[in-house]
Every structure is written in structure tokens, then in C-alpha cells.
Amino acid sequence: MNLVRIGTRNSKLARIQTDMVADVLRRSGIDAKIIEIETAGDIDKESPISSMGGTGVFVSALNEQIINGSIDIAVHSAKDIPTILPDNVVIAGAIARGPVEDMLISEVPLERIEPGSVVGTSSMRRSLELKFIRSDLTVKSIRGNIETRVRKYREGQYDAIIMAKAAYDRLNITENAYELDVHSFPPAANQGIIAVTALSGSEHALTLKKLSDQNALSELYLERSILSELKLSCNDPVAVLARGTNTARIFVRVYSLVGRGYKDFETSVSSVKEGSAFARGLKEKIPDGFGYRWKKETT
């Protein structure tokens, strides 16, 4: 395998992340050709992402290109990848994980923002996290790639915006910003991880697994096992964070969909199988009144 065709979205962040993967391949003596693919989510920058099927809309277009043979692998922000993939597509690799924290782009820290100020985020999880800390702020949805969101902030459409620190760092954003405490703002599953999909059983999939950062890959699979077992996605207001490989510590926070409340859960596991078992146990511990569909189906 002398050349790998890498598919990517055409946003600046996607290109930077794809270049990071290409560098890993090239350091191993494998040439990489990068192919940009425009997705429905990139074309429509105004509709709420939830109405388009969530962030999976960015992933499906790339995976379709893998299936039809136009590209060999595709690079994604791992938290955007749905828990259910086409049967013949797998997450084959991941590079070293970036920071998991969120960043508040603002002139002042969160505690000093004026009451009534408008904070932009397209994440239900971040919206609820913010409301628990500063219920006197106005949360407003924001669409577009990271550069578009920063522009809207600069134009004064928002008094502050929240984004992943990994994106902030990778784009070398210079706007004044503050790192949010991970205990008050725990991250979405797979936040900070760059993942690569490929055809199941292909030479590319086998090569990617060998070249992957094993810590990142282990945390990726563990966190996804929680979402998969609970039938959730990154669009749901749930935070999941695994740290470690041989024995990992898993933290899960589940916010109510219908009221003001959340529940925290934590344990140590040594395998994805144990992570799935932990998640199955959560089904009995998450309050019925939180409004999750699968709770209604099993009660």
C-alpha cells in the first residue's frame, strides 16, 4: 500500500485534522492524497443541525465515498460519528487525543458575564451545563463551522460562544477565551479525538489500527460503548469521559430532557465489555422522569 486516498470535509478544521492523520501515514512511509468532500451540513449553514439528523450528516457522506470506492479512508471528529455505522465501515484508527475541555470565547470569564447576555452553542449538553451554572444567561443556537461561529461572535451577534478546546487549539484561534472546568462542563463522548473510518477488514483498516494511538483508540471504544448501549448520540445531553487503557475510569453525566436535573455515574473498567455492562446497569439508575425514549420502552 503506497498511496492512501483520504476523504475529508472542506472546512479549515477538517483539513487541519486530516493533515494530522496524513502526517502519521507519511512518517510510516505511506503517501497520502487528500480529497475534499462537501456534505449536506456544509451546504446548509442555517438549519438547526438536529433537524438534519445531527452531526452524523457530516460523517455519512464521507463513509458513502468509502463504500463506493472513491476514497480509501475518511477523517472525522470522533464525537460526530454515529454509534451505528454501515455494516462494512468501521472506526479503524485514531491519533493522540487532544484536550477534552470546552472553551468559552468571551471578553470576561463566565462568572463575570453580564446577566441576560447571549451565549452561542449548538449543543444541548453545553446549553444545559451552562444553565446549571448561569441560569441568568440567554442561550442561543449557533450554526456554521468554527470560523463562521467566531465571525458571528466578532460581529456582536453573541456575547460569548462555547466550543471544544481541541478545535480552539488546532485552529490557533486568537480570540480571548477561558477554559471551562471539566467537572462543571464534562465533555461529549470522544471529544478531542480524531478518528479514521475504513472498509471493515481492508488493508487500510488493518494498517490504521497498527498506527493508531492506543490510548485514544481505547478511550474512543469505551465511550462509544456507553452511547451504544444507551442508544444515545452526541446530540443528547449526556457527557461521557473515559481515561486510561488497561484500567480506565469512566464518568457519565445524564441530563434530564424534560426538567432541571442530572445524575452522575462513575466506575472503573478494564474492557469494552465491562463498559457495556456498566452502561446496561445505568438503564435502571437513570430516573424514568428524565424522558429518554428507551426508558419509556422498557418501563
Supply 255's cell numbers: 441530563
Helices (H) and strands (E) in the chain, counts: 10, 13
Rounded (5°) CA angle 24-30-34: 75
Per-residue confidence of the chain (299 residues) as pLDDT tens digits?
689 999 999 899 999 999 999 999 999 999 999 999 986 555 445 544 444 444 556 788 899 999 999 999 999 999 999 999 998 999 999 999 999 999 999 999 999 999 999 999 989 999 999 999 999 999 999 988 899 999 999 999 999 999 999 999 999 999 999 999 999 999 999 999 999 999 999 999 999 999 999 999 999 999 999 999 998 887 899 999 999 888 999 999 999 998 889 999 999 999 999 999 999 999 889 998 899 876 554 44
β-pairing verdict for 238-243 and 248-255: antiparallel
Four-residue CA torsion sign, 84, 35, 76, 141: negative
- Type of residue found at 21: V
Would you state the pLDDT for residue 52? Answer: 43
Would you state the pLDDT for residue 103? Answer: 98
Q: Are 188 and 125 in contact (CB under 8 A)?
A: yes
> In three state form, how does the secondary structure of 108-123 look?
CCHHHCCCCCEEECCC
Quick one: DSSP state of residue 102?
Answer: E
| Domains assigned to the chain | 1-96+193-212 (3.40.190.10), 102-179 (3.40.190.10), 214-299 (3.30.160.40)
Transcribe 181-216 into DSSP letters. PTTTSPPPTTTT-EEEEEETT-HHHHHHHHHS-HHH
Q: In which element (H, E) is residue 137 found?
A: none
Supply 189's cell numbers: 463522548
Would you state the pLDDT for residue 1? Answer: 65
Would you state the pLDDT for residue 51? Answer: 44
Quick one: DSSP state of residue 72?
Answer: S
- Return all residues near 128 (Cβ < 8 A) that are at least 6 apart: 237, 255, 262
This prediction has a pTM of 0.90
Would you state the pLDDT for residue 298? Answer: 45
Neighbours of 281 (CB within 10 A): 12
Supply 67's cell numbers: 463504500
